[in-house]
Amino acid sequence: MGAHAPFDLGGRTALVTGANTGIGQGIALALAQAGARVVVAGRSSMDETLALIADAGGAAIPLSVDLQKPGIAAEVVSEAIAVAGPLDILVNNAGIIRRADALDFSEADWDEVMNLNLKATFFLSQAFAKTALAAGRSGRIVNIASLLSFQGGIRVASYTASKSGLAGLTRLLACEWAARGINVNAIAPGYIESNNTQALRADADRNTAILARIPAGRWGKPSDIGGAAVFLASDAAAYIHGAIIPVDGGWLAR
Domains along the sequence of the chain with CATH: 13-245 (3.40.50.720)
**DSSP per-residue codes, 113-147:** HHIIIIIIHHHHHHHHHHHHHHTT--EEEEEE--G
Entry pTM: 0.96
pLDDT of residue 165: 98
Question: Which entry of 31, 34, 49, 159 is annotated as an active-site residue?
Answer: 159
pLDDT in tens, 208-224: 999 999 999 999 999 99
- The CA-atom distances, in angstroms, between 152 and each of 47, 133, 146, 148, 247 are 35, 36, 11, 6, 18
CB 236 within 8 A of CB 7: yes
Q: How far apart are CA 223 and CA 204, in angstroms?
A: 24
The yes-or-no verdict on residue 3 having pLDDT over 90 is no
The yes-or-no verdict on residue 122 having pLDDT over 60 is yes
Residue 99's nearest CA partner among 13, 203, 224, 238 is 203
pLDDT of residue 180: 98
Identify the burial level of 254 via C-beta atoms within 10 angstroms of its C-beta, where 0-12 means exposed, 13-18 middle and 19 or more buried: exposed
The yes-or-no verdict on residue 111 having pLDDT over 50 is yes
pLDDT in tens, 134-182: 999 999 999 999 999 999 999 999 999 999 999 999 999 999 999 999 9
Q: How far apart are CA 21 and CA 18, in angstroms?
A: 7
For the chain, what is the largest distance between any 2 Cα atoms, rounded to a whole number of angstroms?
A: 56
* Known catalytic residue at 159: yes
Instruction: Give the chain's mean pLDDT.
Output: 96
**Residue 118 is which amino acid?**
L
How many Cβ atoms are within 10 Å of 76's Cβ, its own excluded? 23
89-92 and 13-17 beta bridge pairing: parallel
- Name the pLDDT band for 2 (thresholds 50, 70, 90): very low
Compute the CA torsion angle 26, 28, 34, 35 (nearest 10 deg): -160
pLDDT of residue 4: 60
Q: Which residue has the higher pLDDT, 241 or 196?
A: 241
CB 81 within 8 A of CB 41: no
The fraction of the chain above a pLDDT of 90, given in percent, is 95
